[in-house]
Amino acid sequence: MVVTLLVTLGGWFGFSVTAHADADYTIATDTTFAPFEFQVKGGQYRGIDIDLLKAIAKKEHFTYQLKALSFNAAVQQLSANQVDGVIAGMNITSAREATFDFSKPYYTSGVVMAVAQKSPIETMANLKGKTVALKTGTAGATYAKSVQAKYGFKIKYFNDSNNMYNDVKVGNSVACFEDYPVMSYGIKNGIPLKIVSKQHDAGDYGFAVKKGKNAKLLRQFNAGLAAIKADGTYDKIINHYLHAKESTLTGETANSRTFVGLFTQNLGTIGNGLWMTLKLTVVAIILATILGLILGVLGVMPGKVGPAISSTIIYIFRGMPLMVLAFFIYIGFPDLIGHGFKIPAFVAGLITLMLNEGAYTGAFVKGGFQAVDKGQMEAARSLGLPYWAAMRKVVMPQGIRIMIPSFINQFIITLKDTSILSVIGIVELTQTGTLIIARNFEGFKIWLMIAMIYLIIITLLTWLSNWVQRRIN
């Protein structure tokens, strides 16, 4: 019933939860791992991994839907059968081979340490007692963890490369460990860091599928990889990305680095992210309001059963972190059911927001009904009205009037909470900012734009709230 309602609402709002149904496979990739994968102007993904996959699919005559996620989320979705494969600069390790089947290696890389340009850190021996930034699940993180005890440094983890670089840039961490081609490409195109070590712990990148699954896809990838190596396509792709300047890959120029230039160049991408945020917010608040009203009514019902059900649901979903709930619904729940069961990311996001925001809504709805003077119910019943008629005609109208400001406030909270859904692959406004920064490294300017957009929307909603309260008064 819930899924049907979500699909119906989806049709009204112009999105589809069954997009790319004609694709043979769903392939996950990372969002920010240039030059292997990154988003260019216009919202398209480019990079070594992306172009290799495209060339292999053409050779082997299969189609695919590409899903850009954080590396950690991509691996988890592969484990839960939410995607068919992952190509994301993923190192082939014995630990991962216990869970995944890998293709033939398509690239060999080493790990290097990078520090801020004016940093006094010169070797790993200088790291003792200091903090190092790592990206979760990468070869750099694995290598750093293996030498942590030897050099005595502390570790801080990030889900994407750009936040890791910026942490070192601003001095919160003194160094980071990254694959050499990724670090070299970033420095060449504007990251203010420098490499201070040789390459360590060289490893192979492989295309991954879940162990025992998608053997045909793995065979196709290996056959296509051999074919593009034989005809020279592989070398052309590698050389293009390792030796090209950023502007030739992303389509951006020096003029687009000003605040106005960045906004103009990325207006379409930011607009798409904003539209996704608004769709999520509007549909989620409708569903959360319905759920909250049900929980509020149950909470003030006579007897013990209704209040117990209401309190339990509110306690569970209000107390669970939104990110944990999103992962459970999108990855954990399908993994529990099995049999190839999948939940589209948009639907999973709506369910997550509905349950979390609905629990908060239920709490203040119940409080609003309880705030109505008990004498109102007693007077209605003394006039011969049944309980539910008294609730509907006397108590609820007064309670909802009390709750109007809380509803507006919950709308604002839901708007901001949509940013967390990027962890399951939804490209909303905040994730859009992350993707833009991944290609141009203009973190301050882009985040200032995103912050201004949120502030404008929240200001408009605050004005609406004040206007509604004045009208009520």
pLDDT tens by residue, 138-164: 888 989 999 999 999 999 998 878 889
Q: What is the pTM of this model?
A: 0.71
- Predicted confidence at residue 168, as pLDDT, reads 94
| Range of weakest confidence among 213-222, 243-252, 354-363 | 243-252
- Predicted confidence at residue 245, as pLDDT, reads 55
- Choose one of 167, 182, 204: the last residue of a domain: 204
Q: Which element (helix H / strand E) includes 322?
A: helix 322-327
Q: Are residues 163 and 297 in the same domain?
A: no
Q: Are residues 139 and 241 in the same domain?
A: no
Is 271 a domain residue?
Answer: yes
Q: Are residues 350 and 395 in the same domain?
A: yes
Q: Are residues 343 and 309 in the same domain?
A: yes
For residue 457, pLDDT beyond 50: yes
Residue 436's alpha-carbon distances to 60, 145, 180, 263, 317, in angstroms, are 32, 30, 22, 11, 33
Percent of the chain with pLDDT over 90: 44
Q: Are residues 317 and 235 in the same domain?
A: no
Is 8 a domain residue?
Answer: no
Q: Are residues 161 and 242 in the same domain?
A: no
Q: Are residues 92 and 173 in the same domain?
A: no
Is 156 a domain residue?
Answer: yes
- Predicted confidence at residue 254, as pLDDT, reads 53
Q: Are residues 198 and 306 in the same domain?
A: no
For residue 94, pLDDT beyond 70: yes
Q: What are the φ/ψ torsions at residue 459 (nearest 5 degrees)?
A: -65, -45
Is 133 a domain residue?
Answer: yes
- Predicted confidence at residue 115, as pLDDT, reads 96
Residue 9 banded pLDDT, cuts 50, 70, 90: very low
- Predicted confidence at residue 13, as pLDDT, reads 42
For residue 19, pLDDT beyond 70: no
- Choose one of 251, 276, 309: the last residue of a domain: 251
Given the DSSP bridges, would you call strands 200-205 and 107-116 parallel, antiparallel or unpaired?
A: antiparallel
Is 3 a domain residue?
Answer: no
Q: Are residues 247 and 321 in the same domain?
A: no
For residue 448, pLDDT beyond 80: yes
Q: Are residues 78 and 118 in the same domain?
A: no
Q: Between these two residues, 448 and 472, which has the higher pLDDT value? A: 448
Q: Between these two residues, 395 and 181, which has the higher pLDDT value? A: 181
Please count the structural domains in the chain. Answer: 3
Q: Are residues 127 and 52 in the same domain?
A: no
Q: Between these two residues, 459 and 69, which has the higher pLDDT value? A: 459
Close Cβ partners of 118 (under 8 Å, ≥ 6 residues apart): none
Distance CA 184, CA 194 (A): 9
Q: Are residues 156 and 40 in the same domain?
A: no
- Predicted confidence at residue 12, as pLDDT, reads 42
- Predicted confidence at residue 55, as pLDDT, reads 97
Q: Are 87 and 47 in contact, with CB atoms under 8 Å apart?
A: no
For residue 18, pLDDT beyond 50: no
For residue 21, pLDDT beyond 50: no
For residue 424, pLDDT beyond 90: no
Is 2 a domain residue?
Answer: no
Q: Are 276 and 353 in contact, with CB atoms under 8 Å apart?
A: no
Distance CA 315, CA 96 (A): 37
When the pLDDT of each residue in the chain is averaged and rounded to a whole number, the result is 85
Mean pLDDT of 53-63: 95
What is the CATH number for 225? 3.40.190.10
Is 260 a domain residue?
Answer: no
For residue 78, pLDDT beyond 80: yes
Is 172 a domain residue?
Answer: yes
- Alpha helices, DSSP H, located in 156-304: 161-169, 180-188, 215-230, 233-243, 246-250, 259-265, 267-299
What is the CATH number for 306? 1.10.3720.10
Domain that holds residue 460: 265-472
- Choose one of 204, 219, 240: the last residue of a domain: 204
The tokens of 125 are what? Answer: 């021996």
- Predicted confidence at residue 201, as pLDDT, reads 77
Distance CA 331, CA 386 (A): 46
- Give the pLDDT confidence of 378-393 residue by residue, as tens digits: 787 788 788 778 877 7
- Give the pLDDT confidence of 218-271 residue by residue, as tens digits: 999 999 999 999 999 999 999 888 876 554 455 555 556 678 878 888 888 889
For residue 86, pLDDT beyond 90: yes
For residue 23, pLDDT beyond 70: no
* Amino acid sitting at position 112: V
